[in-house]
């Protein structure tokens, strides 16, 4: 589905209808024109004629109804009376603007609408919001559509709307581009193409028709965690309290305890997924592949469900009152959502290569691990990790070539230095040797095949702390 976003106008229909045309599309000379109140609907109709699924999502700032000239051209009479009542007391309208805007017989060619908060004073009514909340409202809509498979290409028509809304659309699209790239490492064809579209200037022009211009935007995602070392290792993901804060609504006794428990449970479930993402990311970034085979990571569906819950929680606050927005912590929401999107991308990769729990008695074939991680490191664009891993495996193979088969599991420390006793693992050695730290790694051989595993008594809590401390 190709989704086109544009800020609505609800202008006087006597002057709102304009003729638009498209001359160039993806380098192809085309001849397409149409008349509409919004250029986005002409673009949509053009795309549909080419056999594409396309829809328009018109963004309406809630203040769009608080326009003294609107009663001059809206129909029917009872709607004029209703808007006069809104002008007198907009409180009910601001609790549920969707219902009234849906009655207005303007820009009916749209497919869907998205109502966002407004900033400023309109007809004596002061609307208090933050720019960040408007960005999040638009971003949440984009992400939900993509996760549901409804957004495969994104068009941002910036022909209409005040600067604050255009800026918010562009910023939301930038965050969405990062999210979709991080989620789709395995298949870049699933990353939605993003285009900016705009018409020739209309205000002050004497032209009879206006060209729609389409410009593709390109974004690149890097193998870098949205969550940084300090937040993971020192603050213990405390930023999640900015998403799910303990309730402070005046409830007392058992009711207060129940509400607090519900919020903490939500925060706990989100934290579990954010922490697992950080551990998997750090293990890949810091080149300790064997660690990944020991992790009970979440399924794709579980992670998507967490994103939907996160967005639902935020929208519940945003939609409760359009006179004043909740001033959400944008940084906290974006860090959480990007991390969950990246988590999906990592899990897709691990599932493809069957990086999952294994039989401890059998172990992991070292050459099989090497082949898998050549592809994984190549896809994630960290090729030097493969060079280091390959060197470490080669060094181990050279040592074992001089020995007979090792039929039972044997600590690597005994193979490297037979006279040495097992010691405590050292983080520097763990990362320097691609996770094959001699005090916790065990090896056995079978017909020239080398199998590895971690010792049964390995303390993964310690390793988890090492990984969180090396996220950056």
How do the domains of the chain map onto residue ranges? Answer: 2-217, 229-351, 364-468
pLDDT, mean of residues 205-214: 86
Non-local (6+) Cβ contacts of 104 within 8 A are 10, 65, 74, 79
Query: Residue 251: which pLDDT band, with cuts at 50, 70 and 90?
Result: low
Non-local (6+) Cβ contacts of 141 within 8 A are 57, 114
Distance CA 391, CA 385 (A): 10
Tally of CB atoms within 10 A around 354: 10
Query: What are the structure tokens assigned to 299, written together?
Result: 């399924």
Tally of CB atoms within 10 A around 232: 26
pLDDT exceeds cutoff 90 at 203: no
Check residue 258 and give left, alpha or beta (phi > 0: left; psi -120 to 50: alpha): alpha
Q: Which of 133, 197, 185 is nearest to 164 (CA)?
A: 133
Residue with tokens 């080398």: 450
E-state strands within 128-251: 153-157, 193-199, 209-217
Q: Are 458 and 440 in contact (CB under 8 A)?
A: yes
Tally of CB atoms within 10 A around 39: 29
The arrangement of secondary structure in 2-217, i.e. its CATH architecture, is: 3-Layer(aba) Sandwich (3.40)
Q: Which of 231, 252, 202, 246 is nearest to 339 (CA)?
A: 231
Q: Tell me the backbone φ, ψ of residue 426, rounded to 5 degrees.
A: -120, 130
Q: What is the pLDDT of residues 70-93, one digit of tens each?
A: 998 888 888 999 999 999 999 999
Quote the mean pLDDT of the chain. Answer: 93
Q: What is the pLDDT of residues 371-424, one digit of tens each?
A: 999 999 999 999 999 999 999 999 999 988 888 888 899 999 999 888 788 889
């Amino acid at each position: 589905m190709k989704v086109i976003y544009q800020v609505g106008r609800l202008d006087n229909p006597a002057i709102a209808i304009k003729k638009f045309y498209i001359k160039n599309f993806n380098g192809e000379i085309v001849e397409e024109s149409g008349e509409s109140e919004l250029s986005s609907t002409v673009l949509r109709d053009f795309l549909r004629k080419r056999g594409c699924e396309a829809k328009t999502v018109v963004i309406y700032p809630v203040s769009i109804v608080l326009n003294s000239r609107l009663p001059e051209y809206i129909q029917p009479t009872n709607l004029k009376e209703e808007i006069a009542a809104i002008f007198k007391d907009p409180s009910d309208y601001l609790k549920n603007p969707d219902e009234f805007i849906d009655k207005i017989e303007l820009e009916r060619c749209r497919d869907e609408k998205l109502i966002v908060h407004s900033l400023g004073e309109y007809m004596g009514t002061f609307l208090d919001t933050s720019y960040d909340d408007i960005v999040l409202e638009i971003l949440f809509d984009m992400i939900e559509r993509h996760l549901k498979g409804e957004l495969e290409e994104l068009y941002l028509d910036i022909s209409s709307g005040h600067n604050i809304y255009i800026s918010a659309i562009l910023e939301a699209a930038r965050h969405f581009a990062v999210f979709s790239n991080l989620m789709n490492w395995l298949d870049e064809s699933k990353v939605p193409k993003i285009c900016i579209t705009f018409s020739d200037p209309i205000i002050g022009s004497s032209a009879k028709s206006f060209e729609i211009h389409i410009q593709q935007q390109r974004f690149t995602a890097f193998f870098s965690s949205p969550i940084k070392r300090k937040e993971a290792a020192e603050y213990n993901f405390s930023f999640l309290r900015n998403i799910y804060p303990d309730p402070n609504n005046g409830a007392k006794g058992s009711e207060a305890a129940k509400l607090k428990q519900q919020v903490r449970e939500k925060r706990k479930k989100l934290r579990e997924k954010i922490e697992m993402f950080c551990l998997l990311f750090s293990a890949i970034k810091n080149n300790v592949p064997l660690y990944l085979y020991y992790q009970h990571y979440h399924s794709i569906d579980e992670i998507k469900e967490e994103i939907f819950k996160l967005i639902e929680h935020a929208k519940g606050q945003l939609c409760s009152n359009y006179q004043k927005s909740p001033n959400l912590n944008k940084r906290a929401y974006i860090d959480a959502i990007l991390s969950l999107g990246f988590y999906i991308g990592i899990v897709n990769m691990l599932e493809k290569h069957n990086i999952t729990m294994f039989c401890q008695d059998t172990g992991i074939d070292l050459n099989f691990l090497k082949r898998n991680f050549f592809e994984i490191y190549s896809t994630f664009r960290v090729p030097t990790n493969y060079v280091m891993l390959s060197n470490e495996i080669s060094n181990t193979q050279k040592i074992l070539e001089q020995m007979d088969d090792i039929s039972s599991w044997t600590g690597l420390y005994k193979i490297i230095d037979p006279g040495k006793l097992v010691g405590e693992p050292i983080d520097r050695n763990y990362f320097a040797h691609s996770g094959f730290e001699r005090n916790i790694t065990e090896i056995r051989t079978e017909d020239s095949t080398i199998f590895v595993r971690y010792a049964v008594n390995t303390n993964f809590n310690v390793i988890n702390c090492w990984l969180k401390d090396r996220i950056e």
